[in-house]
Amino acid sequence: MTPRTRTSSGSRATALAAAATLALAGVLAGCGGGEDDARVSASGTTATAHGDGHADHGATGEPAAAAPSKADQQAHAATMQMRRLGSATAGDRKIELDASDATTFTVPEGGRFVTHRPRKGENAHLMLMLSDVETGERLPDATITLRVVDAAGKVVSSGPQYPMFGMGMGMHYGDNVTIPKAGRYVAQLVVGPPMIGRHGDVAQRWTTTVRAEIPFTWEDAAR
Ligand SMILES: [Cu+2]
């Protein structure tokens, strides 16, 4: 089941891409079987083609994995058991708050990718979807600081949120947190302007730092 790799200068990137895709396909496929084998084979072929493209352009050398199918994305989102906790608008921006179980994610830190696994006691992955209030378009390159406060006013979690992508949920800002017990909480947000270029028609949008609060009910007990 090893995809053929080239022996030219592009072979390392190609091999990495193939390996990454096989790992991904293995995760998606779950338990074995003839159908799963077919999917692994197909993914490997796609990744090889992508890897060549990257090598030709002299890109960063990051392996290019095959894009997951719509069905895979939906299946992943479903197994993540995402739930909407609430939403708020702040001027020209809308922020939605979703939660899933604490999850493993990888973020660029200090020029390389670093994997964060849920730490002991972390029982939620909070996700903030930041978008334009009118068009609903997601806004990247913003800074979001989140503070979660319980009903007594005690801060149970606080910190800057990592920008990240997830299958079936798209671009969001988030982190794993510990929410100690079922009850009422408030997510207090400070949202900076997206530091991204704009065409003239949106040059005056999202230029300020805004604050928002999203009250939510947490029903799970800590695990
Ligand atoms: Cu996330």
pLDDT in tens, 140-177: 999 999 999 999 999 999 999 999 999 888 999 999 99
Distance, CA of 123 to CA of 87 (rounded, Å)? 21
- Report the separation in Å between the CA atom of 107 and the middle of ligand 1, taken as the mean of its atom positions: 10
- Report the separation in Å between the CA atom of 19 and the middle of ligand 1, taken as the mean of its atom positions: 24
Domains with residue ranges and CATH for the chain: 12-218 (2.60.40.2480)
- Report the separation in Å between the CA atom of 126 and the middle of ligand 1, taken as the mean of its atom positions: 7
Confidence of residue 52 (pLDDT cuts 50, 70, 90): very low
DSSP label at 111? T
Q: What is the mean pLDDT of the chain?
A: 78
What does pTM read for this prediction? 0.67
- Report the separation in Å between the CA atom of 9 and the middle of ligand 1, taken as the mean of its atom positions: 35
pLDDT of 70: 80
Q: How far is CA 10 from CA 17, 45, 62, in A?
A: 11, 15, 12
Confidence of residue 187 (pLDDT cuts 50, 70, 90): very high
More confident: 168 or 26: 168
- Report the separation in Å between the CA atom of 159 and the middle of ligand 1, taken as the mean of its atom positions: 14
